[in-house]
Structure 1
Amino acid sequence: MAICTTFAQNTGPITIKGIVVEQTGGQPVSFATVMVADNETKKPISGTTTLDDGSFVLETEANNFYIEISFLGFQTRTFGQPEVRSKTIDLGTIELSEDAEQLKEVVVRGEESVTEFKLDKRVFNVGKDLSTTGASALDVLNNVPSVNVSIEGQISLRGSAGVQVLINGKPSIIASEEGNTLGTITADMIDRVEVITNPSAKYDAEGTSGIINIVIKKEERKGFNGSVSVNAGAPENNSVGISLNRRTEKFNLFSQIGVGFRDLPNDIDNRNVDLINNTTILTTGEEFRNENYYNFILGTDYYLSPNDVITLSGNFALELEDQPSTTNFAALDASDEITSQWERNETTEATNPKFQYELQYKKDFKGDEDHTLMFSALGSFFGKDQSSDFLDTTISGENNDDAQRTRTDFKESVFTFKLDYTLPLAKKWTMETGTQYVLNDVSNDFEVNDLIGGEFINDPGLTNIFEFDQKVLGLYGTGAYEGEKWGVKGGLRLEQTDLNTILINTNEINDQNYTNLFPSVHTSYKFSEKISLQAGYSKRIYRPRLWDLNPFFNIRNNFNIRQGNPDLMPEFTDSYEVTSIFFIGRTSLNFGVYHRYTTDVIERISIFENNVNTVRPENIGTNRATGMEFNTKYSPVKWLTLNADFNYSQFARDGSFDGTVFDFSANQWSSKLMTKVKLPADIDLEATGNYRSSYETVQGRISEMAFLDLGLRKKMFKGRGVLNLSVRDAFASRIRENEISQENFFIYSRRLRGTFVAFGFSYGFGKGEAMEFTGARRRF
C-alpha cells in the first residue's frame, strides 16, 4: 500500500468579527484598519476600515491559519494559526459596514457587553470574557453562542462545519490554515464576533454553514499609544508582545512585535480491528509540536482628506517547529495475544516563513456618510521547509525495524482584490455592488526515502509534486429597504471558479470550471420595543480545499492515514432560517429555527485493509438538517451575569459509496452556560461549562464531550494594568472519541490535549490601555 505524508495543516472553518470601541467609556472608534491575511492552503487575505460607529466584520474559514491584524490608531494584533483539522477554511471577503447595511437593529445593552440583532446577522461583544483572556481567537469563538471549536481546533456553526472565517470583514493570513497567528490575537483584542448564519449576496458565497467575522479593537486616540504584555503558561506557552501606535490628524503609524515559545502535547489512542482475520493493531503515543515564533507588523494610514484614507500594511512571521513524537504499536492475534511490539520515533523540524501585505483605499462621499467606495488588494505567502526522520525499533516478536525519511517543500501564494460600492438612493433605500477576484497558487514538493541495505533510497511511488491553482471571480448586487418597523434586503451573487490540480511526476490532472448564482433574501419586522423577528434565505458553496484534494499521506502513524481526494466536488447548501428576539425585564431571549439542504456532501470515509485505516474525503449524497437554537443573557443582580446557549438539530442523510448505502437519520445537541461574578477589589471571575452530545456519522459515532473553562482577572493601576489567570479544560475532560463500526472492521480513536493554565500581565502606556498578546496557536 502506498504511504505518503503531508505535514501541512488541515483546514477548518473560522469566523472573525468585532466592533472597535474605547475600553474606557465604550465610545466607538472610527477609521480603524483591520488587516486579515490567510496564509493557508485556502487562506484568503483581507482588510477593512471601521465605520463611524466603530463596527467592522471579518470572517475566514481556515483550519491552518496565519492571521495578523493591525488596528489603526491603536494596538496591532497578530493571531497565530490554530491547530485545526477542519476542511472548511474559506477565506471569503466580508466587509461589515454600517454604511452598507442601513437595517433596523435592536440593541441590548448589558453591564459588560452589547448584543446587536440585525437584519442578516447577530453581533456578540466578547471583549470581557474571562475564560478566554490571554487565549487565542479560537478560544474566544468557543464562547460565542452558536459557535463551537473542537479539540482539534475545527470551527462549526450550529454543529456544522463549512464556516467562513473573516477578520474585520475580509480574508486574512491570520485566519489561514498555513498561518499560525490566530493564537496571537487575544480576547481583549477582539471587540466583537459577528455570526452570520445566512449571509447576503454581498458576502463571499464560500462557507456552507455561514460566516463568522472577528472584529479587532483599535483605539482612535491621538498621540503616542502603546502596550506591553508578558504571558506564561503550562504546558509551556510563553510570550512577550509590544504594540506601538502614533497618530496625528492625518497620519497613523502602527506596529507590533511578538516573540514566544509554545509546547503542545497531545495524547493519542487508537485500536484497529480486522473482523475478517480477527487481528488487531493497538496504537498509543504522545505527540508534541514545539514552536518558536517571531511576528512583526508595520502599517500606516494616511488621510488624504477627511473623507479619503489609504492604508498600507505588512507582516512578517517566522515559525521554527520541532515535533518529537513517540508512537507505540502492538499487534494482537485472534486470541488477543500480543504477537509483536515496536516503537516508532519521529523527529521533525520545519522552518515556516510568512509574508502578508495589504493596500486599501476608502472614500466617504461628502454629504452622506453612508455613500462609500472601498478598494483593497491583499497578498500573502506561506512556505514550509520540513524534514522528518522515522525510526521503527522492535520491542518483541516479529522484526519491525525500519527507517524512513520525508521531505516537504511547500509554497503558497494568495492574492485577493476587492471593490465595494454603497449608494443610499433615498432615506430608506440602499444599493450595494462590488466585485472580488481571488487567486490561490500552491506547490507541494514531497518525497519519501526508505532505508534499504544501509542506504536511503527514494520511493518513486510515494514521491511527487502536487500543484494547486484556483481562481474565483465574484460579482454581486444588493438592494435594501429600511422602514420604521419593517426592512427587507435582496441580492444576487455570481461566482466563476477555475480549479486546476496536477501531480507532476505521474501527470494526473484534475480540472474543474463552473459558474454559479447565489441569491439571498432577508427581512425583519419589529412588532414592538420588546419583540423583533428576522427571516432569511441564502445559497452557499463549500469548495474543496488544498488538503481535501492533495492525495499525499501522513506517515506519522502508518496504520491510521489521512489522504486527500483530487476528484472531490464542491458542496452546495440552501439555507433557511427564522430568528426572534424578546426582551423580558432585564433579560433578552433569542430563539430561532433553521433548515439546511446540502448536496454532494463531503464526508471522510474510512477504507480498511490489512489493519490500515485510510481516511479519505468523498462526496456522499445529500443531507437535510432541521434545528432550533436558543440563547439568553440574564443578570439577576449587578454582580452576577448568566449566559446560556442551546442548539438542537435533526438530520437525514441519503447517499451511497462503493455499493454501500449510507442512509440514516440522527440528531445532536449542544449547550453552554457562562457565569460571570464581580468580586471585590476589581476582581472578576468567570466559569464556562460546555456540553456536546454524541452523534452518528456515516460510518460510526462521535462520543459526547463536557468540559469547563475558568478565568480570573484583576485590574490595577487605574485600569492600565491587568493580571489574568485562565484555566481551559479544568478537569481534562475535553476528550474526542470516535468509533467506526462496519461489517468487516472496527476502529476506535481517542485524542486528549489536557488542561491548559495561562497567566499574564499587560500594561498600557501613553494613551493606550492594557491589551494582551499571547503565543501562536499551532496546527496539526
Structure 2
Amino acid sequence: MHHLQATNHTKGCVGRWVSWIPLFYLILFSLPATAQSQYEITGQVIDDSTNAPVSYAQVALYRKGASKAISGTVTDDQGRFTLLAPPGTYRIAVVFVGYRKKQLKNLVVGEDDQDLGTIAVVSTARQLEEVVVRGKAAPKAITTDVDGLTVRPDQTLTNTGGSLLDVLRNTPSVNVSQDGSISLRGSGTNILINGRNSALATDLEQLPASAIKSIKIINNPNAKYDASGTGGIINIELKKGADRGTNGKVEYTLGNRYRMNANVRLNHRTDNFGVYGGYSFRRWPRVGNSNSTRLTFDNDQRLDQWEDSRRNDLEHTVNYGADYTFGNNKLSYEGAVNFEDEEDFENNRSRVTNTETGAEILQYSRLNNEVEDNYTLDNALVYERLFDNDSGREFRATVSHSYRDQNEVQNIDVYNGQVTSEGSPTGRQRANTDELNQTFVAQADYVQPLWEGKLETGLKTIIRSFDTDYRYEIREARSGAWENQPNTSNHFLYDDQVYAGYLIYSHSFHRLDLSAGVRAEQTLVDTKLLNTGEANNQNYLNFFPSFRALYHVTDNQSVKLTYSRRIDRPGGWRLNPFADISDSLNVRVGNPALRPEYINSYEAGYHVTLGQTDLTSNLFYRQVKGDVDYIVRLENGISYRQPANLNTSKTFGLELIGVTEIFSWWNLNASTTLFRTQVDGSNLGQNFTNKGYSLNARLTSELQLPMDVSLQLTGSYSAPEIEAQGRDFARYYLDASLQRRFFNDKANVNLTLRDVFNTRRFRGENFGPNFSQTFNYKRESRYFLLSVGYNF
C-alpha cells in the first residue's frame, strides 16, 4: 500500500470513510439482487512490483457490456475479496488510489465457484497530496509466489546499517562464503541488479542495505531469464522513489571500531515526471585471523600456518535516476556509481616440520601491505510502451553498460628462517593488478494475448570483456633493482558474447495455469594470454526449455511443478592458466580447458494460507553434468588448487518456509532447506567422489514490546556441506535488534548486536591421496551498531 503525507485530521477522516465503504457497497448492490443461484468469485489483489497484498482496493463486478456494477466489495488486510454472482459472463474492475485500474474481461460464471488467484495491479505514482492512508501492518520480510520468494530488507531490523551481503546472510536458501561468494541451495547463482547483468554484482558489499528495495529469488526461472546460474537467479532491486511530491530519508549508523554508514535518499515526483537519488558513505574496518594444518603422508611433513589480517574499507556509493511519461510512452534512466578505497594488511607465518622427528624443515613470515582502488559505474536506459490496462500487451526495451576498474598494489616483506617479523626483511616482493571489466546489455521483451492465453517473447545480447594485467616483481638483494618474474606475471584477456531469444506461451484452464517455453543462446568465448600468445576460442549454441504448472486447489492452497534446463559458464579468472602465488605454499591456478556446466532442474511446491500463517514447501532435484569444483593436488610440498570438470553432481532436497503471526505482538519467520549432494569426480580419480547431507535454517522472531519498542532476533544455522575432496563444517550465529519509533513513525532509533555469541566462523577439511588438511577462519563478527533514521 502506498503511504502519503497529510495531517492527522485528514488521516482520521479517510480512516472513517474507508470503514464505511463495505457497508455502502452492501446497501447499494443488494437492492437489485434476485433469488437466482449465486456462486463465489474470489481472488487476491497484490502489488505488481513487490507482490505485497493491496488492502482496501475496490473490486466491482459488471455484466458483460454493462456500465453499471451489479456487485462490489473491498479487499481485506491480505488483499483478498469475495463476490457473489449468478451464472453469466462478467467483467471485474479493481480500483485503488495510486494504482492503474485493472480489468478482467469475459469472466464466465457457470455451475461452480471461481477462484481468480492473484491479480497484480501496477502503481501509477499518482497520489493525492492532501490524503494519507497509513497503516501499521505486520512486517512481511518474506513473501512467496510461483517463481520463488521476495525479501524486503527494510522489514528485518538486523539489516539496518549493513550491506547487501548482510541482507543475503539473512535470506532463506542463500549461503555467503568467507570470500563473499554466493550460493543458492548449495549451488552458484546468477546475480542481477534491477533485472540486468551489471558490474555492480562483482562486489555486493559495496551496496548498502538501505538502498535495496527488494531481493527476488527465482530457484527455477523460466525461459524469459538468462539460462546462466546453477542454483537460479537472485535479482537485486534498488530503491527508486515512487511517492508523489518531494520526500526522502536520512540514516546514520555508528558501530564499535568506528564503523560508520551514512545514507541519504531524495525523490521528487509529479504526474508525468520523477527524479530520485541516493548517497551512501561506508567506513567498515575489520580484523580477522586464520590457521591451517596440512599433513603430507609421502614425505612425513607437517605444515602449520597462521595469519592475522585487518582491513579498512572506505566507500562512496551514489544511485540516481529519472523517468518521464509522454502519451503512451515512458522513458527511464537508471544509474549508479561507486568509489572504493581499501587498505589490507596480512601477516602470514608458516612452519614446516618432520612429523616423525619434529625437526624444523622451513619457516618464514610474510607481511603483505595492500592498497586497492576500485571504481564502478552502471548506466541503463529503459523504454516502456503503455498499452490500455485491459489489453494484456506489454513492451519493454533496455540498453545498459557497466564498467569496473580495479587497481591493486601489494608490497610484501619476507622474513626467511623466522615466524616473526623482527629486524630487516630477507626478501622483498611487490605486485600490481590492473583489472578492467565491462558489460553491455541490450534487451527487448514483448507480451501479447493469444488464443485466450499469453505469448511472451524477447531478444537479449550480453557482451562482456575482462582485461587483467598482473605484474609480479622481486627485489634483487645486491643491486636493489626490481626484476619482473615472467613465470608469474601475466596479461589475460577474456571476451564473451551471448545472443539469446525466447518464446513462452501461457494459458489458464479454470484453476490450472500452464506455461511452456524455450530459450536459445549462442555463446562466443575468446581468451588470450598475451605473455605466451595462447588463445582459447569457443562457439556453441544451446536450447533451454522450461515448463511450469500451477494448480489452485482451493482459494488458499496451490500446487506447482516446474522444470528448466540451465548452464553455468566458467568465468575469466577460472580460465586464466597462470598461477596466483600470494602464498608460495598454496598456489591457485586457472584451467583454460574448463567446459560449461549443464543443469537439469526440477521442483514441486505446495503453498497454503491458514489464517495469519503462510506455509510454503518445495521439493527440488538438480542434476549437473560437468560440475566444476576446485581440486587440490600436492607436489613437492606445494598444494596447487585448480578448478576442474567432474562427471556429475546431483542435489535433491526439501525447502520449508513459514511466516506466521502468533499474536498481534509476535511474528515468526522461519525457513529450512535440507538437501543431499552426490559428487562424482571419478573421471579425475577415485578420491574425487563424495556424498552427504546438509541443512540451512533461519529463524526471525519479532516482538512488539511496550512503549512502541520492537525486538527482533535472527538466528542462522548451516550444517556441514560436502565438496569433492572434503567438507565445510557447521556455521551458526544469532543477531539481535531493538527499535523505537518516534514522531508518528517518521523517526527511528535502532540498536543491533551482530553475532551475539561470537560463533560465526568458517572451518573445514580437505583430503587427497597423499595429504589431509584442516582450516579455520575467523573474521570479527560480533559488534554493536547504533542507527538513527528520519523520513521527511
| Normalised-by-shorter TM-score class | 0.7 to 0.9
Is 2:475 aligned against 1:451?
yes
The aligned counterpart of 2:113 is: none
Is the 1:235–1:756 contact (alpha carbons within 8 Å) kept by the matching residues of 2? no
Query: Shift in Å at residue 417 of structure 1?
Result: 0.6
Q: Decide whether the 8 Å contact of 2:401 with 2:438 is kept in 1.
A: yes
Do residues 419 (structure 1) and 444 (structure 2) align? yes
How many Å separate the matches in 2 of 1:106 and 1:754? Answer: 46
In the aligned structure 2, how far is the partner of 1:300 from the partner of 1:201?
Answer: 30
- Give the partner amino acid of 1:573: I
Q: How far has the Cα of 1:181 moved from its partner?
A: 5.5
Query: How much has 1:630 moved relative to structure 2?
Result: 1.5
> Which aligned pairs between 1:24-39 and structure 2 lie closer than 5 A?
none
| SS of corresponding position for 1:169 | coil
Per the alignment, in what secondary structure is the counterpart of residue 547 of structure 1?
helix
The alpha carbon displacement at 1:345 in A equals 0.7
* Structure 1 stretch displaced more, 219-228 or 392-401: 392-401
* 1:204 Cα offset (Å): 0.7
Q: Which residue of 2 aligns with 1:257?
A: 279
Q: Report the 3-state secondary structure (helix = DSSP H, G, I; strand = E; otherwise coil) of the residue aligned with 1:461.
A: coil
Corresponding position: 1:149 with 2:172: no
Alpha-carbon contact 1:721-1:761 (below 8 Å) kept: no
- Residue 552 to residue 568, structure 1, CA distance change in 2 (3 Å): same
Q: CA separation in 2, counterparts of 1:98 and 1:194?
A: 25
Counterpart code for 2:150: V
Deviates more, 1:368-377 or 1:533-542: 368-377
Give the superposition deviation at 1:502: 0.8
Shift of 1:753: 1.1
1:205 aligns with 2:230: no
Conserved? CA contact 1:725–1:758, under 8 Å: yes
Q: Partners of 2:338 and 2:147 in 1: how far apart?
A: 35
Q: 1:161/1:537 Cα in 2 relative to 1: closer, same or farther (>3 Å)? A: same
Distance in 2, Cα, partners of 1:23 & 1:680: 27
Counterpart pick for 1:586 among 612, 615, 619: 612
Name the amino acid aligned to 1:688: T
Structure 2 matches for 1:112-127, cutoff 5 A? 112-113=139-140, 116-127=143-154
Number of the residue aligned with 1:719: 745
Which of 549, 559, 562 does residue 523 from structure 1 map onto?
Answer: 549
Kindly indicate whether the alpha-carbon contact (under 8 Å) linking 2:173 and 2:696 is maintained by their aligned counterparts in 1. no
CA contact (8 A) 2:165 2:204 kept: no
Q: Does 1:321 align with 2:342?
A: yes
Residue type of the partner of 2:473? N
Distance 1:446 1:363 in 2: 47
Distance 1:248 1:585 in 2: 39
Other-structure match for 1:700: 726
**Separation (CA, whole Å) in 2 of partners of 1:526 and 1:644:** 24
One-letter code aligned to 1:141: L
Partner secondary structure for residue 373 of structure 1: strand
Partner of 1:53: 47
Q: Deviations over 1:488-520 (max 9, x none)?
A: 111100001100111001011111111100000
Match of 2:775 in 1: 749
The alignment covers a number of residue pairs equal to 675
| Unpaired segments ≥5 residues, structure 1 | 1-19, 28-50, 58-96, 767-780
* Equivalent position SS for 1:554: strand
Q: Please identify, of 211-220 and 636-645, the stretch whose mean Cα deviation from structure 2 is larger.
A: 211-220
- 2:208 equivalent among 185, 188, 213: 185
Distance 2:326 2:165 in 1: 36
Q: How does 1:459-608 map to 2 (within 5 A)?
A: 459-608=485-634
How far residue 450 of structure 1 moved from its aligned partner, in angstroms, is 1.2
Q: Secondary structure at the match of 1:548?
A: helix
Return closer, same or farther for 1:164/1:224 CA change in 2, 3 Å cut-off: same
Q: Which residue of structure 2 lines up, in the alignment, with residue 677 of structure 1?
A: 703
Pairwise CA RMSD: 2.9
Q: 1:123: how far off?
A: 3.1
Greater C-alpha radius of gyration: 2
Show the counterpart of 1:170.
Answer: 196
- Out of 284, 291, 297, which is 1:275 matched to? 297
Structure 2 unaligned blocks of 5 or more: 6-10, 15-44, 52-99, 106-115, 121-135
- Deviations, residues 162-184 of structure 1 (Å, cap 9, x unaligned): 2112233222333x21xx45443
Give the match for residue 17 of structure 1: none
Q: Secondary structure at the match of 1:681?
A: helix
Distance 1:242 1:552, change over 3 A: farther
Please say which of residues 646-655 and 115-124 is displaced more in the overlay: 115-124
* 2:532 partner SS: coil
Q: Are residues 677 and 336 of structure 1, via their aligned partners in 2, closer, same or farther at CA, if it must alter by over 3 Å?
A: farther
**Distance across 1 between alignment mates of 2:324 and 2:419:** 71
Once residues 471 and 98 of structure 1 are traced to their aligned partners in structure 2, the CA distance between those partners, rounded to angstroms, is 41
2:487 alignment partner, SS class: helix
Q: Distance in 2 between matches of 1:628 and 1:289?
A: 39
Partner deviation per Cα, 1:360-385 (whole Å, 9 max, x = no partner): 11111135364211111110111122
Separation in structure 1 between the aligned mates of residue 470 and residue 569 of structure 2, nearest angstrom: 24
Q: 1:546 to 1:266 in 2, by over 3 A?
A: farther
Cα offset for 1:646? 1.8
> Could you tell me whether the CA contact under 8 Å between 1:224 and 1:246 is conserved in 2?
yes
Q: Quick one: structure 1 residues 394 and 460, their matched pair in 2 at CA, closer, same or farther if it must change by over 3 Å?
A: closer
User: In the alignment, residue 291 of structure 1 is paired with which amino acid?
Assistant: D
AA matched with 2:433: T
Query: TM-score if structure 1 supplies the norm length?
Result: 0.81
Alignment of 1:55-74 (within 5 A): 55=49
Which residue of the other structure, out of 379, 389, 401, is the alignment partner of 2:401? Answer: 379
How far residue 309 of structure 1 moved from its aligned partner, in angstroms, is: 1.3
Quick check: 1:293 aligned with 2:312? Answer: no
Match of 2:365 among 334, 343, 348: 343
CA contact (8 A) 1:274 1:745 kept: yes
The answer as to whether partners of 2:160 and 2:787 remain within 8 angstroms in 1 is no
Q: Which 10-residue stretch deviates more, 538-547 or 331-340?
A: 331-340
Q: Which residue of 2 aligns with 1:3?
A: none
- The C-alpha deviation readout for 1:96-127, integer Å capped at 9, x for no partner, is x999x9994499x9722176543333334443
User: Counterpart of 1:65?
Assistant: none
Cα deviation, residue 530, structure 1: 3.1
**Of 403, 407, 413, the match for 1:391:** 413
Distance in 2 separating the partners of 1:580 and 1:52: 19
Residue type of the partner of 1:317?
A: N
The question of whether the paired residues in 2 share the 8 Å contact of 1:419 and 1:436 is answered with: yes
Higher relative CO (CA 8 A, sep ≥ 6), structure 1 or 2?
A: 1
How do residues 214-253 of structure 1 correspond to structure 2 at under 5 angstroms? 214-253=236-275
Q: How far off is 1:523 after superposition?
A: 0.5
Letter of the 1:430 partner, please give it.
Answer: K
- Counterpart CA distance in 2 for 1:167 and 1:369 is 29
The Cα shift of 1:251 comes to 1.9
Q: Determine the C-alpha separation between the residues in 2 that align with 1:184 and 1:462.
A: 33
Distance 1:430 1:204 in 2: 20
Deviation of 1:224 after TM superposition, in Å, equals 1.7
Residues 542-587 of structure 1, C-alpha deviations (whole Å, 9 max, x = no match) = 1111222223443332222323222211101101111001233432
In structure 2, the residue matched to 1:434 is: 458
Write out aligned runs for 1:6-25 (5 A): 22=3
Take 2:566 and 2:456, find their aligned partners in 1: how far apart are those partners?
A: 19
> 1:397 & 1:326 partners in 2: Cα distance?
10
Where in structure 2 are the equivalents of 1:723-734 lying within 5 Å? 723-734=749-760
Q: Say which SS state the counterpart of residue 155 (structure 2) adopts.
A: coil
Task: Provide the secondary structure at the position in 2 that maps to 1:349.
Answer: strand
